[in-house]
Structure 1
Amino acid sequence: MHDLRRQALLESGKTVSRKARSRQASAVSSKANSKVNSPAQSRATSRNPSGQVSDDEDYLSDGTAWSTNSIDEILNGEDVDLPVDAWKTELSNRIEHIIDRKRTSTDGRAESLNIFAHILMAKYAKDDIESHESELLPAIMRSIKTDTTERETVAAIKALTAFIVTIESGDVYDDVTDLLKRMINNADSVKTKVSAIHGLGIAAFFGGASEEEMENIMSYYLEIVESDGLSVEAHDEGPVVTAALEAWGLLATEIDDLEETTEAAIEAFVDQLDSSDAGVQIAAGENIALMYEKSHTPQEDDEEVSDGGIDSDSDEAPLHGPRMIKRYTVYRRQDQLLHKLDDLATVSTRSISKKDRKTLHSSFADIRNSVERPTRGPKYSTALDQETGRVYGGGRMKVKINRSVEVRIDKWWKLLRLNALRRALQGGFPTHYDENEAVSRCLPFSMSSRR
């Protein structure tokens, strides 16, 4: 979640030669207008005959195992023999496969949903799916509702999430919220619950939920956190609690006044800092940093306040914009909180893996800094620029979109949104940021200087 340069797509363990992949891709393109496989072709054509199907592999309906690299070559048109729009052909085939449930197997639908989601993540395909919206959405929801296998259900939720970000419909939240809540509450699979928690957050954020509805969903997530997952029959399941914390944070970035919500949530999040799961601790800490950040807002032009209402960082305000005013107290036992954050930023116990210790140190150094000085975002640097004599400040964390555009992640609300978008779009985030207005509206960009 914290490595902005990580690979977005998992690599399959099975590889195919470039020449063979080219032949396979051409064969897929030549079948563009053919009908989907009939049930008679079923098992042999929808499974890998040599072993168990992996969630990280995509299987096409002709029984060929495609590595992620092969799908990427279709998406990116890297092979000279591939048509430029080969991915459009493949997307069309997968849409037909998803909609026509009667002529597909469970494994076949899971495969098509996975590839459909993969393409929507990598390409901005709104024009290609818009005309199918009335059929696609019910078909995807049906795969979620029936919950036949974990693989199909998770693939369907992943497809739904990519669909929502792509289509940007103001009505989709009302269509999917009850179903996704049902999966969170009743699904046996932890992986399904996690996917549904994130999917519900994306549906609320991009699908037309009102601020009141978002706050209701945040309260629902908070119950999961407070009960350590027990409220959704996933007691002490770290991934479920982490997902609820992350989804809560995404929706919190959209709430203008977080004071009442903060009062209800802060105790639960501070408690989760004692979790034995590093993911839970970090997600809770990031939400705490966000709440401190949102407790300060710019001073209005005609506003008069006493010095007590101005954050102690006000001496830095001329470098970073208007003065920031403290509007309310986030946590009354801040000294105890800072002590706990210090411990997490320097934790050295051997019971925690070296990788987790490193992540905890990096994350909680930033979180502690923001709790003490809420105007400082993630990766804030107090080092002096030798040329200007000023502190570097925020903005050291950047995401490159193209040669002239980069997103500077200098606020916690930006980081939480970025993390949510990377979960939903994986490596396709830059493409969507460049072409999908719904995504680019979420994060302001800065023009890179050219030398």
Structure 2
Amino acid sequence: MHEDLRRRALESSKTVSKKARSKQSSLTTSAVNSQPNSRPTSRAQSRNGSDDEDGGGNLSDETSFSINSIDELLASDDFNEQAPEPQRQELKDRIEELCERKGSSYKGREDSLAAFVRILTAHHLADELYGRVADLVSALLRSVKAESTERETILALKAIALMVISFQDDISYDGLSAQLKRTICDTQSLSTKAAAIHSLGTCTAFCGAGDDEIMEVLNFLLEIASSDGSFVNATDDADTVIAALQEYGFLTTYIDDLETESEDAVAAFVDQLDSDNVYVQIAAGENISLLYEKSYTPMEEDDTLSDLEETEGNSSSGDDSGNSGGPKLIKRYNAYHNTYEILEKVQALASLSSRKLSKHEKKQLHQSFASIQITVENPRLGLQTNSASRMTVRIHQEGEMKVDKWWKLMRLNALRRLLQGGFVNHYFEGNKQVLDTLPLIMRDVKVKGLRSPGHDKSKKGRWKDNPKRGLRGFSED
């Protein structure tokens, strides 16, 4: 992968919000079902080293819907290389094993699913799925319904998401979404709930859902986040809340007009700013910024210059310096009735100093909320790391994308959560879903055309030996 994907890698962590703690004593109806599977609050603060667990408490990279360490991605043997024939053949073999479920053991299915997920994460191999999608979906849904083991279930959920982003045809959104929602509501495994939420977000975005269906899922996710997980019997479980917040932000980028929904959504996210966990706070804050950004749209022919004037104490100069030379932006509605309340909380978080936070958490919090504050104060500026700089994603020295809008960041992070180190390969190998998600993602940078990042085999392994050169976070221009 390129040098500019380190700093903003999302990390999955748990939390218990203040609102949730105040509710906990009164939530007796769901206690019998949820408490035996609830995780202690102390586990929330040690989340970086784990994501999903199998029955024995062992961790598995294949079950992860997050990026905990970019350095781990650099160690992948097939990183930025063309899919070799042995991998294609292994994928075919694994497909056969998954479809021929009769007589298989849970351990065998776990191994087959892990290989299936690993290969489809690393490369775009839609041609190998052709003609087998219906059988695969049926087999994967059986694993999800059966819940033989937590690891098999989560692997099946991720396999479904990878199939949808690799091969959209012949996959019914209605059938998938109904089962995923049942799993989110009914499973006793909290890790499975979070994985199913991520899978639901991917299926909704890439499986042909219309605006009404997307709005239905957004309302479902908002209920989960605003209830601190209790809506789906996951009271105080941070993974569930984080997943709901992240997928809400991602799916919101597909809806043009959220004027009616914005007030209630922002109110729910403002409440989550009081969470005890940095990553819930960041996810909520980023959603707030996105909704403020969406309350502004480009100036149209029937708009007047007076429409450019800012209100509520924002800049009235009409300056769109954060617009990178784009069209003038006009405020269409109030994202929230009390921007001052939000700014008070955001400013406090941007400078929060607490011994309870690690150095890394404090840095993440301060950087994120500095950007969030800029957007809430003046949504026209889009996404900035400070008043004058932007974030840029570069793939080697061959192309780049300006991440100057929150909607771009939401979509980029969603792709990276699912594809992880394979994101670059999926782009260069022509995954239409990836290309459509971030259209015009690349532009030429001092070279003729865009070549595969693995074109120079003489440099193979260089990035592994020196990971600091191989991958950085978003760089500032």
Q: Where does 1:369-384 land on structure 2 (aligned, <5 Å)?
A: 369-383=374-388
| Code of the aligned partner of 1:4 | L
Does the CA contact (< 8 Å) of 2:397 and 2:445 recur in 1? no
Q: Where does 1:224-239 land on structure 2 (aligned, <5 Å)?
A: 224-239=224-239
Q: Where does residue 446 of structure 2 map in the other structure?
A: 450
Q: Where does residue 223 of structure 1 map in the other structure?
A: 223
Secondary structure of the residue aligned to 2:6 is: coil
Q: Where does residue 292 of structure 2 map in the other structure?
A: 292
Q: Separation in 2 of the partners of 1:151 and 1:171?
A: 24
Aligned with 2:404 (options 398, 407, 410): 410
Secondary structure of the residue aligned to 2:297 is: strand
CA spacing shift, 1:171–1:52, aligned 2, 3 Å? closer
CA spacing shift, 1:109–1:399, aligned 2, 3 Å? farther
Q: Separation in 2 of the partners of 1:156 and 1:123?
A: 18
| Code of the aligned partner of 1:374 | P
User: Is 1:314 equivalent to 2:325 in the alignment?
Assistant: no
Q: What's the % identity of the aligned pairs? A: 41
User: How far does residue 69 in structure 1 lie from its aligned partner after superposition?
Assistant: 9.4
Count residues with an aligned counterpart.
384
User: How far does residue 170 in structure 1 lie from its aligned partner after superposition?
Assistant: 7.2
User: Is 1:113 equivalent to 2:113 in the alignment?
Assistant: yes
Q: Separation in 2 of the partners of 1:89 and 1:7?
A: 35
| Code of the aligned partner of 2:431 | N
Aligned with 1:366 (options 357, 368, 371): 371
CA spacing shift, 1:76–1:422, aligned 2, 3 Å? closer
Secondary structure of the residue aligned to 2:401 is: strand
| Code of the aligned partner of 2:441 | F
| Higher mean displacement: 318-327 or 295-304 | 318-327
Normalised TM-score (structure 1) = 0.79
Does the CA contact (< 8 Å) of 1:169 and 1:206 recur in 2? no
| Code of the aligned partner of 2:183 | M
CA spacing shift, 1:312–1:114, aligned 2, 3 Å? farther
User: Is 1:441 equivalent to 2:432 in the alignment?
Assistant: no
Secondary structure of the residue aligned to 1:212 is: helix
Q: Where does residue 428 of structure 1 map in the other structure?
A: 422
User: How far does residue 355 in structure 1 lie from its aligned partner after superposition?
Assistant: 1.6
Does the CA contact (< 8 Å) of 1:165 and 1:439 recur in 2? yes
Secondary structure of the residue aligned to 1:314 is: coil
Q: Separation in 1 of the partners of 2:73 and 2:415?
A: 22
User: How far does residue 74 in structure 1 lie from its aligned partner after superposition?
Assistant: 6.1
Q: Where does residue 334 of structure 2 map in the other structure?
A: 329
Q: Deviations over 1:75-103 (max 9, x none)?
A: 7779xxxx941100111111111111113
Q: Where does 1:192-271 land on structure 2 (aligned, <5 Å)?
A: 192-271=192-271
Q: Where does 1:131-146 land on structure 2 (aligned, <5 Å)?
A: 131-146=131-146
User: How far does residue 303 in structure 1 lie from its aligned partner after superposition?
Assistant: 2.0
Secondary structure of the residue aligned to 1:398 is: strand
Does the CA contact (< 8 Å) of 1:296 and 1:324 recur in 2? yes
Q: Where does residue 19 of structure 1 map in the other structure?
A: none
Q: Separation in 2 of the partners of 1:172 and 1:403?
A: 40
Secondary structure of the residue aligned to 1:291 is: helix
Unaligned runs of 5+ in 2: 12-54, 63-71, 448-477
Alpha-carbon RMSD across the aligned residues, in angstroms, is: 2.7
CA spacing shift, 1:84–1:424, aligned 2, 3 Å? closer
Q: Separation in 2 of the partners of 1:92 and 1:170?
A: 18
User: Is 1:94 equivalent to 2:98 in the alignment?
Assistant: no
Normalised TM-score (structure 2) = 0.75
Q: Where does residue 58 of structure 2 map in the other structure?
A: 54
Q: Deviations over 1:148-202 (max 9, x none)?
A: 1101000100111111100023743112011101111011111100100010010
Secondary structure of the residue aligned to 1:429 is: helix
User: Is 1:346 equivalent to 2:328 in the alignment?
Assistant: no
| Code of the aligned partner of 1:321 | G
Q: Separation in 1 of the partners of 2:210 and 2:387?
A: 39
Q: Separation in 1 of the partners of 2:140 and 2:227?
A: 31
User: How far does residue 308 in structure 1 lie from its aligned partner after superposition?
Assistant: 6.3
Q: Where does residue 6 of structure 2 map in the other structure?
A: 5
Q: Deviations over 1:328-360 (max 9, x none)?
A: 011221112111101100010112222211110
Whose Rg is larger?
A: 1
Unaligned runs of 5+ in 1: 11-50, 59-67, 384-392
Secondary structure of the residue aligned to 1:397 is: strand
